[in-house]
Structure 1
């Protein structure tokens, strides 16, 4: 690839589109050359306006991006994909549109980043993963917890065994119901189960492997899909792993993103609302020395930098493939089945595609 900056096209300027614009602005080897949104007001959005009514996101400072003055603007995303001179198409559209525009961008020969969740259902996610496997371009799903400071540290500690085996792990991601028409429509967003909780379901898979079974409880309140879920992920002979996801807390509750993982020789604890967010307490009661990189920033910038660096260096973007993201959608669907049936769902009978 030439030394010129990578040319990015961002499709969808809600809170995540603006969050990605903000992250790209700090990357010197990329330029946002085009944007698309069917709402013309968003094409001239300014920092902090929530993308023209698209919701400001859960994380403080999220959604602060600005559309560059010299970026080409499109109301029709198909025109951006077919006309703009781009290296990368970044899909930040509502979930049901991911498949259509993701496939179109791949067919146009673009590298493609697709926000989470990959698709509204596992069948669509599999079709996208199949297309990515056939494409000569690179594709990645926007599962930002795989890049979040503190969460990356947790996975490394679990995988290298520095504190012994994991005894129990709990994850909690809860907030009030987001505003906007997309979040009111369960048929589009899949409820908190898919739109919010998928972050933790994916991180559980990435860190502990595919569970043998899931056992979930939950309810619908703000949409006609599952808006509050608690799941136990069963691992034969392995740790107790539980994750809770909810966007049905009372208005004004705020946002909580936490984990607490108990290992043989330490407890690792993360709370986004605390300073410092990350703690490592060893069995003798001492706190491990702070890790500066763990308590600063989010996963959005590292995620985009990783993907663009993979493109620049000509290497696979295999930290989170579309196949990985499709498997996480399938895992969430197993949780939904467990809630509907009131029973444990064994993952072995839900065959993953090769």
Structure 2
């Protein structure tokens, strides 16, 4: 009998925007009361840093609240935040770079080409990993409690746990037949980067992506957050920053700033970083109005008739959003260090800002 893990459908995982409001959402500012971006984020009691731009001009660039409530340090545009699952966009790019370097031949290569000991690996392709179509269950419920209690668990050990699980249980669905958001996909992708490149995941991402784009304030997260230029993470005013970051490799491991992520969005949105074929693959498919699909490491939504390519992230005490509107040359980035009401607020940010600014 299959273990009951946190397996969500794509609709749940993407937090579809125009669903009925919950009681939490009703506490957020209404679109009708919106006047400026600053007004919206202030009314929402947003705590973090924000960048909204269109055609290269800032609509709003600023920060709100405290980076560290214990010391009274304010958030500013140089504050570094854990970005959670936004990290997956960098891991996806790492896999694309493997293809460019000839270390993989095709995104449809089965995982059995790289590990014959992974159960059912002949059914699962690299593309299935990057689009959450593998059917591999999420590993976090298997390891997070133990890791938070102090047990040292490496990404390699998690991968072995995934293999043991699959040796005794079926995949959650036939690969390619459905979608379910699973951190396992991107942890496996990160380990694949290490195996094929012969480098650490961190060094590979830095040398192929971060350094070429001058994203010098983006770095791997640490268990304890130290330093005045780093945000502490809070949930209901409790500091919850202590987190076993080793278990997030490839799936939620990076720390960054709004300025660095602006460079990343500009690169992905532009015409020089990806070839036309790569871009079509990453953002493939037409999106029906007011709905969402998942490409390779990026969501693609239709919001108020406009295309929005994006990813969100949540990790204890932090919530993030990066995205761009290619037709409007627009960028939306929010990095927050207050976990309260994060999913509802992220949806409302997307809906409100796109409707009013683009």
TM-score normalised to structure 2 length? 0.28
Between Structure 1 and Structure 2, the one with more strand by share is 1
Larger RCO: Structure 1 or Structure 2 (Cα < 8 Å, ≥ 6 residues apart)?
A: 2
